[in-house]
């Protein structure tokens, strides 16, 4: 059964986000109060290239099954550690095509705009992850 196991946000740019009791999704903007909220790009590397680009990374999702896989390889990773806003379980996020809309309750939804490429910051979090 598909489920949300954690929600996270951070008002400051950084690698990890803090687990919250609730988050609010704002249409066309992302997670209310999160550093990545907005119509145009908020990731610092993308802002440096062209700050007028559309923000296709407003809400980050990661499947909890990844944490189990990493645990089996000797890493300790928890919800929010990799910078995600929503941690899911029972959804094969990597198999979903761009344009898929995921619904959270009766009011909230997100449209998948693509996969997030792993970046060098992950090695700063835990080398080898």
Number of domains in the chain: 1
Q: Is residue 79 part of a domain?
A: yes
**Rounded to two decimals, what is the model's pTM?**
0.93
Q: Is residue 94 part of a domain?
A: yes
In this predicted structure, what is the pLDDT of residue 121? 79
Q: What is the pLDDT of residues 86-129, one digit of tens each?
A: 999 999 999 999 999 999 988 899 999 998 877 777 878 888 88
Q: Is residue 22 part of a domain?
A: yes
Q: Which residues of 80-105 are buried (b: 16+ CB within 10 A; e: fewer)?
A: bbbbbbbbbeebebeeeeeeeebeee
CATH number for the domain including 99? 2.40.33.20
Range of the domain at 107: 3-123
Whether residue 70 is predicted with pLDDT greater than 90 in this model: the reply is: yes
Collapsing DSSP states into helix, strand and coil, what is residue 30? strand
- Percentage of residues of the chain with pLDDT beyond 70: 100
Collapsing DSSP states into helix, strand and coil, what is residue 89? strand
Q: Is residue 12 part of a domain?
A: yes
Beta bridge partners of 6: 87
Q: Is residue 65 part of a domain?
A: yes
Q: Is residue 129 part of a domain?
A: no
């Amino acid at each position: 059964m598909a489920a949300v196991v954690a929600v996270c946000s951070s008002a400051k740019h950084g690698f990890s986000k803090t687990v919250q009791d609730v988050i609010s999704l704002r249409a066309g903007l992302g997670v209310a109060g999160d550093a990545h909220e907005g119509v145009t790009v908020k990731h610092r590397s993308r802002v440096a290239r062209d700050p007028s680009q559309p923000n296709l990374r407003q809400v980050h999702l990661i499947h909890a099954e990844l944490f189990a896989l990493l645990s089996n390889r000797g890493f300790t990773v928890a919800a929010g550690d990799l910078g995600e806003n929503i941690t899911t379980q029972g959804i094969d996020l990597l198999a979903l095509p761009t344009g898929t809309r995921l619904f959270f309750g009766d009011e909230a939804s997100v449209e998948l705009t693509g996969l997030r490429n792993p970046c060098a910051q992950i090695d700063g979090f835990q080398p080898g992850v």
